[in-house]
Structures are given as structure tokens and as C-alpha cells.
Homo-oligomer: A and B are copies of this chain.
Amino acid sequence: MSIRLAPAVEELIRTLSALPGLGPRSAQRAAFFLLQNRKGALDELASALNTARRGVGRCRLCNTFTEGDICSVCADEDRDPGLICVVESVADQMALDASLAWPGLYFVLNGRLSPVEGIGPADIGMPQLLKRIGAGVEEGVLREAVVATSYTPEGDATAYYLIDALKKRWPQLRVTRLARGLPSGIEIEYTDLSTIANAVYSRRDV
């Protein structure tokens, strides 16, 4: 005798629960919230999704989200076009740029290599990245590529693949990875052993 929700409501809950951060219960809460605020939140979200679907694409140069052909970062003349930073996602790009430490451009991969899940170089946009770097090198503009993938097994696999591809094709290009070491604000006592070991191996003269 338990209540069966209307199919359209069930479908709304199902699609919301696909979002990261929303489990089945919070997806139901979100769906009821939207249905209770149909002139407000529901209309606004529906309209934002329709606009995003029609208007948001990928930057032709760096593959980040953009409404135009080229994103605001690639169009920014204050950035050094001799430096390109390769990241796994737009979220990583945002975090890196918020650190204000990177004066150059970016290339956003579509995630990282994962042989287990059958995700290969073409799936994450490796060919486009190599084409972009090749153009930069041949124009004599590009001096350095930073491989800014995470220090996880899949991030490492992606980095190794990319570093190998870059060094084979353009031996003159400087290729770097982000430094490993102690994070800010955390006591050594509470830092994991792999991080401490890397901080020791990469210790620097002062």
C-alpha cells in the first residue's frame, strides 16, 4: 500500500541522483524542493541547463569550458604563451589558477588514463594536446610544458605516457611536473609516509 510517486517525479529523482554529491535521499529532497518552487528554482535550473546545453562548449585551444570559440584564459594577453600547464579537469585548472602561482596557459584533459576502465589516450584528448603543443613548439613560442596530473596511480600513468610522448617528439622542450613535498599547514607528525619520503628525496639547499 506504499505510495508510488508519479513517473515524472521518479525520473527527476533518478536524474538528480546521478549528480556527484547527491545520494538517493538527497536527490528526493532536491526533487521535492524543485517541485515546490516551480516558479523559482525549477524554472531557473531548467533554463540554466538549457542555456548551458546550447551555449557552453570547449575552448578550441585548451579544451576548458567556454561560451565562445576561445576561452578568456587563452585570450588573455597578460599570460605567458611560452608556458602550458596540462591538467586533468576544469576543477583542477580552477584550483591551480586560484593559487596565483601560474603565469601561463593551460590544456585541460578529459580526465586521466585508466586501462582498467578502458580509458585510453584518445578518450582523454591526448591527440589534441599533442597537436596543440606541436603547434606551439613549431611556432617557436612554447618553452615549457608542466604535467600537472595528480600523484595517484592513474595520474602517474597519464604523466608517464605524456612525458614520454613529449620527449620523443620535441627533445628541446622543457617538460616538468609539479613538486612533491609537505603540504602547507599540516604537522609532519600527521603527514603520510609517502609524502614525507618524497619531501626528503626532493630536499633543497637553503
Chain A residues near B (Cβ < 8 Å): 1-9, 11-12, 14-16, 18-22, 26, 28-36, 38, 41-46, 48-53, 55-56, 65-68, 71-73, 76, 78-79, 89-91, 93-94, 97-98, 100, 103, 110
Contacts and interface: CB of A to CB of B under 8 A. Distances in A.
Nearest to A41: B18
Nearest to A89: B32
Contacts of A91: 28-29, 32
A144 to B, nearest CB: 18
Given A19-B30, A30-B20, A7 B46 contact: no
Contact of A45 (B16, B26, B32): B16
Give the oligomeric copy count.
Answer: 2
A20 B100 CA distance: 32
Contact of A3 (B44, B56, B97): B97
Contacts of A18: 41, 44-45
6 contacts: A9-B67, A15-B41, A16-B19, A21-B21, A21-B26, A32-B91
